[in-house]
A and B are shown apart, each in its own frame.
Chain A
Amino acid sequence: MAEPSHNAGRNQAPRAREIIVTADGPLLVSGPVEIVMPDGRRVKSDRPVTALCVCKRSRRQPFCDTSHRCRVHADEIVQEEDRAQQTPAATG
């Protein structure tokens, strides 16, 4: 998460920006980042880590909104029938 310019004055190679490719969801990019959209619009994210949508299902492009998650009918959740997620315990 270090800014590449941080180490410029020291005798070290700048640390490459880390991008994590998740198996099940978004690309995780160490921020802050500015994303250029297909129409030329620039979108900024100041977060320490930004989750970029790659499944194209997010309604908040270019960011992940967890729309990649498996959507199932309650009667399909056999083992979890006692604890099907009804509402967030809160927001984090």
Chain B
Amino acid sequence: MVMLATMEVLPNLFGGTGDSISQILSMLFYVVFIVFLFYGQRIQMYVMIREVEGSLYKLKYIKEEGRRITIETIKEIGKPQTDPSARVDRYLEYFTISPQSMDPAGIVYKLDHILDVRDTRLKDEVKIMAPASDEVQVNNLENTLEAAMALNFIYKVIRHYYIQGKKTLSLYIIMQLQMILPLVMKEAEAYASALKAFADGQPIGDGAGPLVAAKLMHGYETRKVPKDCVVATVPLEGRTAFIIKAEGPGGNVGKPGDAVKAVIDENEGKVASVIMIDAGLKLEGETVGEVAEGIGAAIGGPGVDQFKIEETVVKYQIPLNAVIVKEDIGDAVSPMRKEISDSADTVIERVKNVILERTKEGDKVIIVGVGNTIGIGQQEKKRNE
């Protein structure tokens, strides 16, 4: 009754002269205008919060799926006696503290040491979690766990800023979060895809470099070089090529910095060129699998290997060339796309061109396939050093 009375009185207050519908519409217009005048920013913020909340639920789902897939894979491959869930949860919370950089001298070797310790520790954990797994499976499981770890970290950071924004009702925290969300979601989806690839041991887009190296060294004897890498001596266009890649087919990036240094030192610096092949981040609009050439050390990661390679080539004044296969972050960590797999032959042609144009017959060259070699093997026959 009160509502009916109000509806009859209110239009007169707003000076409505037309029929009842136009009166109610003009009244609604004033109400909406006043509400937006005073609460516009707050409404905008609530809309953003809702958007972030939706993405956060999706991130939570992806993270939980990642954890589930990881535990299932460990149970299936590693045949543990006890439930590995608690250990996996502990693993997902592992952190690494980077070295102090106030005095940057020698920081590369400090970081190198910390990364070595981390790698050993994580591998040991995987061996405890999955006792029945072999070396290849340990590497694959370690990669799977690292992808799950990345998903866990992304979820926690986004949740942190979401709660902080809600607590402080700060438009600027929420706005920043909402603006970067599409990129964060893309990365999270890429890791989710990577997780399945790692669990099954499928080659990923980042393996473009090792794939080219594997094709070049196929049919030739390989030997191990430090650390976790293999090298094959291959005659190529009248030159002697030392082809280096991480040892596969387990998920492994090796330490190409140490491997390149070892091969250059073995040859007393008498190397005409170092050619690095890697997956390179493409810009929007560029085609996946496009091949480009350049100069410098084509290698990502924390920078330790890039530093070592640059240090060695500078010492002996060796030219450093690079060939990259373009792909985006999603392609780099998810199962290898056909375009990337097919580009390996184009890369080989480009590498041969570089060798023909930049070196003389009888020279020695080093070709490094940089990246994760998961799902990419090499000649089975090995001669240990």
A and B found bound together = no
Residues of chain A whose beta carbon lies under 8 Å from any beta carbon of chain B: none
